[in-house]
Structure 1
Amino acid sequence: MSSSTGIAGSSLMTIANTDSLLTEINVDEADIAHIRVGQAVAVFAAAFPEVALAAEVESIPLSPRSNNALGQSGGSLARSYTVTVRLHDPKQLALRPGMTCRAEIFTDSAEKALAVPVQAVFSSNEAETEIAAGKKPPPEERFLFVDAQGKAARRVVTVGLSDDSYQEIRSGLKAGERVVVGPYKILRHLKDGDALSVALPAGQKKS
């Protein structure tokens, strides 16, 4: 190449092959035990935040890396694992090497599951109860409230899988029952038998 200088054996340039793209995501050590090679992943590039790109876990490192920033500030070292993910169809979007992204790894799935909004499910550990000195607290229960003819009815439920939006209910609730949802600061004080009022979306009239 004319008008160029270089040292024998050194790289002149690097050409990226965009037919096959990998991305690296940091997984906290508390979650790494649930990650397996081949699991499905949804990747959201920062440049296209509304588009989910299909991918899968390519490799999982044996050793974590430490976040020294926390250690220098006096806190304990935070450890994470850099998991490599391969995109199935990188040409779906105009992706460029070096772009940042976030990812959702699907560690498990359930078909035809009964699910409710996560904010509808409570833990008995969250309840404001007084435990006598020396007495063990009761076993943890997960519960929600359903609309029983205009009154709140407390239901103990068995939960399963969950994500950021929904919680699977494996027992204690039937399909078609109306589940009570609302602001946590209000629901945390709700009691069995309390009267309920329905808040309709803006512009919608009660039939």
Structure 2
Amino acid sequence: MKINLYTTVILSALLGLTACNNQSADSETEIAIPVSVEELRPGFIEQTINTTGTVVATKEATLTTEMAGRYTLATNPKTGKPFMLGDRVNQGQVIVKLEDEEYVNNLGMQSKELNLKISEQNYTKQKSLFDKGGVTQSELSNAEVSAVNARDSYELAKIQMEKMNVRAPFGGVITQLPYFTQGTKVTSGTEVVSLMSYEKLQLEVNLPEKYINQVEPNQDVRVMNYTLPEDTLHGMVRELSPAISTETRTFTGKLSIDNDELKLRPGMFVQAEIVLDRKDSVIVIPKEVIISNQRGKSVFVVEQGTAEQKQVTLGYENQDKVEITSGLKANDRLVVKGFETLRARSKVKIIK
């Protein structure tokens, strides 16, 4: 009986020692979780509104003939060839010419020009004689009337002659050019060319009602298009409607976009960011590292080799980042990778 009791005590002691050794070993071999950190530095963040829409040209026109005549497509001096789709033209440049000898002959340009010269010379002579007392005031006035009438007649003929040319009313790009055989007679009112100017583009957008007191004319705008992933164009808010739609609870805004290099084309679908405000020298972190729970928003930082969970308060935010107004400070080491498996006071190993 004594032997059995002694044996039981010894076994109990051994089991207790083994358990203590295992617990100590587990404590010493706690695995450090690999994480990546980012040392916080003051930065900036903008409050923006994201919107989408289709850009349109600020100027466009379809030009028609004012007179009938034989069609001739003018030569582009830059290429030495007749104008083509996509060619750029300057304001006032002739794109299409019409020819009609009978019409030109009836205008009598040469006779009207000669009559103008004779009338002006006669007026000059009569004025000189009037100054010397050689003619009466009535004779001078008649000479002046003749000169004015001759000038008006000549200018009217020039206007009528100019109608034989189709000129660009503004600098732009040829977007449509219906084909006509050179020398074919076309009637007046025939559409012969369409132009667009899109060095400046316009984007009409519908903005949520809650922003009506925050969006203002002249605010900066950034514009992106999926075909230009590396390029961001800039513009500004140009016009705002003060009325809110009762159906959509939105208000209309018109944005002006700088497109000097013609990277965007009219009709393209774009995404625009209106910059409402900007804060500098603030703590800004990626949105993806924020953990949401019943207690609010939190993130993990590394302090002396362990993970510390910090409750944070958010400020401005955009698509990717958010301002932290409390809970973090400059030089904190924010966990940006590996935070998903962390718990408070977890041991961590920092990796790059």
TM-score of the superposed pair, with normalisation by structure 1: 0.66
Higher helix residue share? 2
Contiguous gaps of at least 5 residues in structure 2: 1-64, 70-185
Higher strand residue share? 2
Give the deviation of 1:30 after TM superposition.
Answer: 5.2
CA offsets, 1:53-102, max 9 Å, x none?
11111223323385xxxxxxxxxxx6544421112x31134332222211
Asked if 1 retains the 8 angstrom alpha-carbon contact of 2:223 and 2:233, the reply is: yes
Give the deviation of 1:48 after TM superposition.
Answer: 1.7
Asked if 2 retains the 8 angstrom alpha-carbon contact of 1:25 and 1:103, the reply is: no
SS in 2 for 1:169: strand
1:14-29 superposed matches below 5 A: 15-29=195-209
- Among 93, 114, 120, the residue aligned to 2:289: 120
1:84 counterpart residue number: 254
CA offsets, 1:92-133, max 9 Å, x none?
3433222221111112111122211111223xxx32x5xxxx
Give the deviation of 1:24 after TM superposition.
Answer: 2.1
Contiguous gaps of at least 5 residues in structure 1: 67-77, 130-139, 201-207
Asked if 2 retains the 8 angstrom alpha-carbon contact of 1:43 and 1:52, the reply is: yes
Q: Does 1:148 align with 2:148?
A: no
Quick check: 172-181 or 45-54, which moved more?
Answer: 45-54
Give the deviation of 1:156 after TM superposition.
Answer: 2.2
User: How much is the aligned-residue C-alpha RMSD, in angstroms?
Assistant: 3.0
1:46-195 superposed matches below 5 A: 46-61=226-241, 62-64=243-245, 80-87=250-257, 89-122=258-291, 126-127=292-293, 141-182=296-337, 187=340, 190-195=342-347
CA distance in 2, matches of 1:32, 1:5: 49
1:69 counterpart residue number: none
User: Whose relative contact order is higher, 1 or 2, with alpha carbons under 8 Å and at least 6 apart?
Assistant: 2
Give the deviation of 1:23 after TM superposition.
Answer: 1.3
Asked if 1 retains the 8 angstrom alpha-carbon contact of 2:207 and 2:253, the reply is: yes
Opposite residue 275 of structure 2, the aligned amino acid is: F
CA distance in 2, matches of 1:108, 1:32: 14
Opposite residue 171 of structure 1, the aligned amino acid is: S
CA distance in 1, matches of 2:300, 2:336: 8
In structure 2, do the counterparts of structure 1 residues 16 and 156 end up closer, same or farther at CA, with 3 Å as the change threshold?
Answer: same
Give the deviation of 1:174 after TM superposition.
Answer: 1.9
Asked if 2 retains the 8 angstrom alpha-carbon contact of 1:41 and 1:57, the reply is: yes
TM-score of the superposed pair, with normalisation by structure 2: 0.41
SS in 2 for 1:111: strand
Give the deviation of 1:172 after TM superposition.
Answer: 2.2
Opposite residue 63 of structure 1, the aligned amino acid is: I
1:203 counterpart residue number: none
Identity of aligned residues (%): 27
- Among 30, 33, 44, the residue aligned to 2:224: 44
SS in 2 for 1:181: strand
Opposite residue 154 of structure 1, the aligned amino acid is: Q
SS in 2 for 1:119: helix
Larger Rg over CA atoms: 2
Asked if 2 retains the 8 angstrom alpha-carbon contact of 1:65 and 1:81, the reply is: no
